[in-house]
A and B are shown apart, each in its own frame.
Chain A
Amino acid sequence: MSETDTVDGTDQRVTTTGETSERVREAWSDYEFAGDAKLVVDDLDVYYGDERALQGVSLDVPDESVTALIGPSGCGKSTFLRCLNRMNDRIDSARVEGSVTLDGEEVYSDGVNLVELRKRIGMVFQEPNPFPKSIRDNISYGPRKHGDLDTGLLARLLGRDDTDDEEALVERVLRRAALWDEVKDRLDDNALGLSGGQQQRLCIARALAVDPDVILMDEPASALDPIATAKIEDLIEELAEDYTVVVVTHNMQQAARISDQTAVFLTGGELVEYGDTDQIFENPESQRVEDYITGKFG
């Protein structure tokens, strides 16, 4: 439930969640950080048919860091993530209003090349979804489709063979995804034969192979056991050295462990609070966020 009214000249919403009712202050999601913003989201609304899934979300994602999106299920955090690389275009009834910019370029303008966009913003899904192909082919799929890799008889005849590049790429991204030692002897086996955790790391490696700037992860560890989850978490922290990682999770401990900043979405598709992870978890401004984090509801 929400309504908008103007108090003291600032835009505030009164929202009730659980037993607490409060005004959402814009200041709660004003997050100051050093350096440039990689992604700037401004006043984003998403509708599925008549249903509003996100309302007026604005947030800046800093470069080379881990940003966690947390919140109860149905709060719109996955919807938000899928807006960033326009995967919501796949859903016929979805309608997006507002602005997202990547390095200052508008993602939601008419002439946008979705291929280029998704090369720059990679994505890892909740369920591991490797292609039913060999491990090697899973890695080289993206570069091949983008014309950066060319192998095969014809390429060899024409002197354009990139087999060595492919070998190097496969090894590099598999090492980066901490999977190389486990699969180096069976690169030509079907990827569906890997364990769930390995499959998920393969999907991360696959995303790295197209050399993105941003990696979106939609609850990447929720389908995995604790040991596989720990490996994925370590990997995410390492990736933040070179990439901008945005990760959705419903696991608050996970968010606290891996992220630099955290955004909290609550019911109704509303961004309530966004800021430094330590600050959000230790001293949130919003009463409802505190209730949520301490487990009073959600």
Chain B
Amino acid sequence: MSNATRNRIDGADSTAGDLLSRGVLATSVVVFFAAWTLLLQWVDETAAVGGVSALKLLGVGLVVVGVGLVVVGVGSRLGYVDTAPSKTAGVPVGVVFGLLWAAVGGLLGTLALGNAAVLWLPVAALFGLAGFLASVLPREDVGATVPGAVVLLLLGGFVAAGGVNAGWTWAPAWSSAVFPGSELVPILVVFATLLGAWCAGKANEGFGAEGRQAGAYYLVGAVVFAMLGVLALLVGFIVTNGLATMLTRASLAGGELTVPLVGVELPWPEFPFLTNPTGGLFVEVPGVLPAIIGTLWLVFGAVLFAVPLGIGAAVFLTEYAERGRLTQVVEVATNGLWSTPSIVFGLFGLAFLVPRISGGNAIFVGQLVLGFMLLPLVLITSREAILAVPDAHRDASAALGVTKWQTIRSVVLPAAMPGTITGVILGVGRIAGETAPLLLVFGGPPYPSTTPNVLGSFELTAQPPFVTNEALLSPASALPYQLYATITAGVFPKEIFTDTQFGWGTALVLLLVVVGLYAVGVGSRLYFRRKLHHE
């Protein structure tokens, strides 16, 4: 082919350009993190380093990045730096830079001509077009750096020159919120440094396909890092805030355990937050015991209801039913159940189950409703697990003259057990944290002083239904419900905690329970998958 290029396969790197683009990259990263520390308020925005305010420093950082990018891009174009740029930076780059230029143009237009769309819109469009053309017309090394650098220089210069200080505010007419410079600048800087890292990443690998890959990887890496950081912060917040509450007056040997029959008292770990009721007159350290017990009963009942139903249906669908209309209907039904918002189950429980079972909020109704939510997950996972059992096992068993049901019971189900158990654990993790339906069919007083006594409340009666259980038909508390109740009830009745403190503690216990269940589920899935692959 005539226009194919023949390059040496081992291209040498130029050290000067490499060093410069690496410097730009490093500056972007530093400024990126600096902006985050301001946003997260780890550093106060009025703080000053060497007499220069933090905001101005961010601006200076952006200017440095911008200048560096221009030098790298132009240097490469003039041949001082050895690079392998493409003919053009490409349409996506053009669109990004065009949009940025349009934003700059819009702002300048508003400043110069006033706030009427007729006036600033053409200016914005003109700037956008200019930015687009400036990116796609020149060779990649200029097109992919200079137009972006101009935006960085404008923003950085404006901030560094003191155009924005911590007290500056922007109150656009379309928004009820007022944007202060102290927050707006770090937010813009975060995005601007991402832009800078993208461009510098490309330059660092000498542009071309390799350069675009490097730029994209820096961008993806930064986004993923931010995502993991936010998720980690979230968990960190709960743990740090909740730990103090959870460990209030806790000690490893402060409690006493009376050994039955002998009567000797032994030291015993004490966890008042986990072992005390929430309300009650003589409770010094309120705890979440009623909620823990309530969650246990809820989960127990839901599992008892959903697991036999789900596994039974999965067995019928995979082993007995022929593929046809019935299996299709069931598939639609399970997917429907799976994607229904949980609050709808609560509504159903409220309208259908409550009047027929208890006449009010009750543990039993909560169990059934959560069971409905667990059912599709159990069905789907156990069906997949049963389908994964090779037909050879079934054929081998049948060839030995074993009946179908015996084959299912002694060959298929044991082989499918790991997958099913994993599914059940994950499902339990999900329903243990479920709150919305509980508000409608389950929840009791916000600060219960007793735990539900389900086991001790069974009574035989002469009237139908012959067996009653008062506790099962009464409202109770559960961990997620307790958290909601604490949030909405407002003032906490005990002096030792504020409601927020109590909420953090409850959130931590809930998190431990649910994430613990998930960890077991995810771990067992990994374990079984690995075992399967080794065999």
Contacts and interface: CB of A to CB of B under 8 A. Distances in A.
B87 interface: yes
Contact of A116 (B3, B8, B13, B88): B8
A111 B11 contact: yes
B90 to A, nearest CB: 9
A148 B8 contact: no
B209 A148 contact: no
B137 interface: yes
Interface in B55-96: 86-88, 91, 94
A158 B137 contact: yes
A120 B9 contact: yes
B532 interface: no
Nearest to B90: A154
B136 A154 contact: yes
A113 interface: yes
Contact of A148 (B1, B136, B208): B1
Contacts, number: 58
A238 to B, nearest CB: 18
B1 A211 contact: yes
Interface size on B, as a range, is 20 to 34
A109 B87 contact: no
Interface stretch (A75-83, A99-107, A246-254, A279-287): A99-107
B10 A105 contact: yes
B7 A113 contact: yes
- Among B7, B9, B11, B12, the most chain A Cβ lie within 10 Å of the Cβ of B9
A116 B9 contact: yes
Interface residues of A, number: 28
A145 B5 CA distance: 13
A105 B209 contact: no
A115 B12 contact: no
A154 B93 CA distance: 13
B9 A117 contact: yes
A107 B209 contact: no
Contacts of B210: 113, 115
A230 interface: no
A150 B7 contact: no
Nearest to B91: A154
B4 interface: yes
Interface in B1-24: 1, 3-5, 7-13
A143 interface: yes
A270 B298 CA distance: 65
Given A111-B12, A111-B13, A113-B11, A211 B87 contact: no
- Among A102, A116, A150, A154, the most chain B Cβ lie within 10 Å of the Cβ of A116
Given A102-B9, A146-B5, A148-B5, 4 more contacts: A107-B9, A112-B10, A148-B3, A158-B136
23 contacts: A105-B10, A106-B10, A111-B10, A111-B13, A113-B10, A113-B11, A116-B8, A116-B11, A117-B9, A143-B1, A143-B4, A146-B4, A146-B5, A147-B86, A147-B87, A147-B208, A147-B209, A148-B1, A148-B3, A154-B91, A158-B88, A165-B3, A210-B4
